[in-house]
């Protein structure tokens, strides 16, 4: 469990990125921070691994105040995946993935062996192990970034718009894989995005943020969709535009779902158990 207690972050230039922020992030669930650019999502995320230190307030992980922990050691037990993959250009894929275990003192051979297994986990062919990041596609680089984030087998995985820079088809693929991974690995994932659809798809808990890290609403996707607390949230999730207000319309070839402007949005099927493939 990660807990923010009245956390404020004021940068030296006077910008208050986050003001008096309170939140509990449950373990082994995916929590998504969603909000427009500049709402403080990245700042919130980076306060968890002490890449940013709060001006006031406290953040604790499983009851331990992070300000009492050594930043370097803390970062080595928290996975971090960022938008531009953040891979070292002069390290081969396998070396990038094995980075944190090697920093933690795992012998190089074993770290590389385990890194190969991780390539399988994130759906990358082992033949890519000896390539350099510049020889991979954007989507492949992101997968390597995820593999590196998982390498030390951290309990917590921080993801800052990890799929923001890849094209929509690859993004959809990566999202599905992340859902699969999360089901298998059972990590506490904190995910940042500005895309509300991505937030609803991935989040068990979704936190909608306004400028200054102000929480507009916290809840499960269905809670938020069913009852947006205010106009800002309704606007943000697209309810205003009727994007989420679907209705059934019968057509000659069967029933379909349409949104409020009459565009086809999907079909109605019998509910399936979440685990069925």
The footprint of another protein (CB under 8 A) covers 46, 49, 51, 72-76, 80, 82, 84, 86-92, 99-100, 103, 132-135, 148
Residues 6+ apart with CB under 8 A from 44: 4, 7, 18, 21, 33, 192, 209, 213
The dihedrals phi and psi of 212, each to the nearest 5 degrees, come to: 85, 20
Query: Closest approach of Cβ 184 to ligand ADP, in Å?
Result: 28
Residues 36-65 that bind ligand ADP (CB under 6 A): 37-43
Is the CB of residue 2 less than 8 Å from the CB of residue 191? Answer: no
Query: Closest approach of Cβ 32 to another protein, in Å?
Result: 19
Look at residue 143 and give the partner it binds from ligand ADP, Mg ion, another protein, none, a contact being a CB closer than 5 to 8 Å depending on partner kind. none
Residue whose CB is less far from ligand ADP, 38 or 266: 38
Residue whose CB is less far from another protein, 144 or 206: 144
Look at residue 68 and give the partner it binds from ligand ADP, another protein, Mg ion, none, a contact being a CB closer than 5 to 8 Å depending on partner kind. none
Q: What does the alpha-carbon distance between residue 54 and residue 21 come to, in Å, rounded to a whole number?
A: 11
Binding marks (x or -) toward ligand ADP, 95..134, rule CB under 6 A? ----------------------------------------
- Per DSSP, the three-state class of 247 is strand
Residues 6+ apart with CB under 8 A from 52: 9, 43, 46
Binding marks (x or -) toward ligand ADP, 10..29, rule CB under 6 A? -x-x-x-x------------
Residue whose CB is less far from another protein, 11 or 179: 11
Look at residue 275 and give the partner it binds from another protein, ligand ADP, Mg ion, none, a contact being a CB closer than 5 to 8 Å depending on partner kind. none
Look at residue 72 and give the partner it binds from ligand ADP, another protein, Mg ion, none, a contact being a CB closer than 5 to 8 Å depending on partner kind. another protein
Residue 141 near Mg ion by CB under 5 A: no
Is the CB of residue 80 less than 8 Å from the CB of residue 161? Answer: no
Q: What does the alpha-carbon distance between residue 45 and residue 162 come to, in Å, rounded to a whole number?
A: 13
The dihedrals phi and psi of 193, each to the nearest 5 degrees, come to: -155, 160
Sheet-wide strand order for 254-258: 247-251, 254-258, 264-266
Q: What does the alpha-carbon distance between residue 116 and residue 147 come to, in Å, rounded to a whole number?
A: 10
Applying CB under 6 A, the span of 30-38, 126-134, 228-236, 269-277 interacting with ligand ADP comes to 30-38
Residue 97 corresponds to which tokens in the numbers above? 């993935």
Sign of the Cα torsion 64, 65, 66, 69 reads negative
Exactly one of 42, 140, 175, 188 binds Mg ion (CB under 5 A); which one?
42
**What are the b/e assignments for 110-123, b being 16+ CB within 10 Å?**
ebbebbbebbebbb
Residue whose CB is less far from Mg ion, 42 or 66: 42
What does the binding site for ligand ADP look like in residue numbers (CB under 6 A)?
11, 13, 15, 17, 35, 37-43
């Amino acid at each position: 469990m990660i807990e923010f207690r009245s956390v404020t972050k004021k940068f030296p230039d006077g910008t208050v990125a986050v003001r008096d922020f309170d939140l509990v992030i449950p373990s082994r669930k995916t929590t998504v921070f969603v909000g427009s650019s500049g709402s403080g999502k990245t700042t919130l995320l980076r306060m968890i691994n002490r890449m940013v230190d709060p001006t006031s307030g406290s953040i604790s992980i499983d009851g331990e105040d992070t300000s009492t922990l050594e930043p370097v050691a803390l970062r080595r037990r928290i996975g971090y995946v960022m938008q531009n993959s953040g891979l070292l250009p002069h390290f081969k894929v396998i070396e990038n993935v094995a980075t944190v275990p090697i920093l933690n003192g795992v012998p190089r051979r074993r770290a590389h062996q385990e890194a190969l297994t991780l390539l399988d986990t994130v759906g990358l062919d082992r033949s890519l192990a000896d390539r350099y990041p510049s020889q991979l596609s954007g989507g492949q680089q992101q997968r390597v970034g995820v593999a590196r984030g998982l390498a030390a087998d951290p309990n917590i995985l921080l993801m800052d718009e990890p799929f923001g820079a890849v094209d929509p088809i690859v993004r959809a693929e990566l999202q599905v894989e992340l859902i699969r991974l999360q089901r298998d690995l059972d990590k506490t994932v904190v995910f940042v995005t500005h895309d509300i659809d991505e937030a609803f798809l991935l989040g068990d808990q979704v936190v909608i943020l306004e400028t200054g890290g102000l929480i507009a609403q916290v809840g499960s996707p269905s809670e938020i969709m069913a009852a947006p607390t205010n106009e800002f949230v309704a606007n943000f999730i697209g309810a205003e535009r009727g994007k989420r207000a679907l209705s059934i319309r019968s057509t000659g070839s069967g029933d379909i779902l349409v949104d409020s402007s009459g565009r086809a949005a999907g079909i109605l099927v019998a509910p399936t158990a979440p685990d069925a493939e």
